[in-house]
A and B are shown apart, each in its own frame.
Chain A
Amino acid sequence: MMLLMHNFGEKLDSRPAGREAWLAIQPRLREMDAAETITLDFTNVLLLTPSFADEFVTLFVSEYPSRVFLSHTQENITVRKTLEFLSKTWGQKPAMQ
């Protein structure tokens, strides 16, 4: 499954928005096959902060530790720095590109 993060907004900057995005995606996650991988693609995201990412990306990483792949994380400086910062708190680091 591929999730285009900019579909949740160009600026991903608040806890409520992250929580809402996580709840909104639950029906699709329930439809996944047990071994299906999940790619979070950050193309065209203009802003990502830890507030949003903690409520969304961190939950993907903790719920699906071996199945999550983070893509296009180097194109925007806030995406890169937020994910680098939070990855220090994650038990298992997802593949990042």
Chain B
Amino acid sequence: MISITHPLVQEAMLWSAEANKPPPLSAGQWCATKDTLRARIDSLTIRLLHQNVAEDRVRLFDAVLSEIGSNSFDHNIGQWRDTPGVLFKSSETDDGTLCVLADRGQGLLTTLSRVRPALNNDAEALRVAFTESISGRAPEQRGNGLKFVRSILLEDGIDLWYGSGNAAYAVTERVEEWLPNDPPVLGCSAILLLRNP
């Protein structure tokens, strides 16, 4: 599984689990708008291409980051818990390129319960989000983003840890797990690893 002891991951986990409004993040970590996030992901992809990472892997990594980041904005606009926007940061590790994306939004259970009132807990909401075509933006009928992400992770070997509330979904070298999570993530938090070849 992705190492959750990396300082970048620890910082994101603490920030996303903080009960009270956390202190402002540095400008280099903070994406208040989707355009800012797009620019940061573009910078990362250019860097990876300059490092001679295979273009197909870079484009797929871009797609996964874009879908997860877009979800944060699309589902929480006007409804942020206390801090609008997304934490985004990346770092080179011995295993590969590590990225964190986190928001302090409503979280999956609150969002999906509006269109699926029978959902009982974070674990059910997480499983629905990654396995069923359902949108929390009713009456919008589509909701394919996280299903697409899952298909890329399982087919192309990008690692993910994704937490919302007290549940998490992890994919490590194409093997997936549904896990408990403590402390709870208040919005959604994703850690991605593009492994070195």
**How many interface residues does A have (CB within 8 Å)?**
22
Nearest CB in chain B to that of A55: its residue = B142
Interface of A, helix, strand, loop or mixed by DSSP:
helix
Q: Which of B63, B74, B142, B145 contacts A78 (CB 8 A)?
A: B63
Q: Are the CB atoms of B148 and A82 closer together than 8 Å?
A: yes
In whole angstroms, how far apart are the Cα atoms of A62 and B36 in the complex?
Answer: 33
A76 interface hit (Cβ, 8 Å) = yes
A70 in the interface, Cβ–Cβ < 8 Å?
no
Contact B133 A49 (CB under 8 A): no
Cα distance A67–B172 in the bound complex, in angstroms: 42
Instruction: Tell whether, in the assembled complex, residue B151 and residue A85 are in contact, meaning their CB atoms are under 8 Å apart.
Output: yes
- Interface residue ranges of A35-89 to B (CB < 8 Å): 46-51, 54-55, 58, 76-78, 81-82, 85-86, 89
Instruction: Give the number of residue pairs across the A-B interface with Cβ within 8 Å.
Output: 66
C-alpha spacing A82/B155, complex, angstroms: 13
Contact A76 B67 (CB under 8 A): no
Least distance between B32 CB and chain A CB atoms (Å) = 16
B interface residue count range (under 10 / 10 to 19 / 20 to 34 / 35 or more) = 20 to 34
Cβ contact within 8 Å between A49 and B60: no
CB-defined contacts of A81 to chain B, threshold 8 Å: 60, 63, 148, 151-152, 155
Across the interface, do A50 and B145 meet the contact criterion of CB distance under 8 Å? yes
Determine whether the beta carbon of B144 is less than 8 Å from that of A50.
yes
**Chain A: minimal CB distance from B8 (Å):** 24
Is A86 touching B144 in the complex (CB atoms < 8 A)? yes
- Contact among B38, B56, B70 for A15, CB-based, below 8 A: B70
CB of A85 within 8 A of CB of B144, answer: yes
- Is the CB of B59 closer than 8 A to any CB of chain A? yes
Q: A11 contacts the other chain (Cβ, under 8 Å)?
A: yes
Cα–Cα, bound, A81→B147 (Å): 12
Pairwise interchain contact A14-B66, C-beta atoms closer than 8 A? yes
Proximity string of chain B (25-67) to chain A, C-beta cutoff 8 Å, 1 when within and 0 when not = 0000000001000100010000000000000100110110011
Q: Among the listed B38, B142, B147, B152, which residue makes an inter-chain contact with A13, where contact means beta carbons less than 8 Å apart?
A: B38
Chain A contacts of B147 at CB under 8 A?
A: 85
Q: CB-nearest residue of chain B relative to A15?
A: B74
Interface pairs (8), CB distance under 8 Å: A13-B62, A47-B62, A49-B145, A50-B142, A51-B74, A77-B56, A78-B59, A82-B148
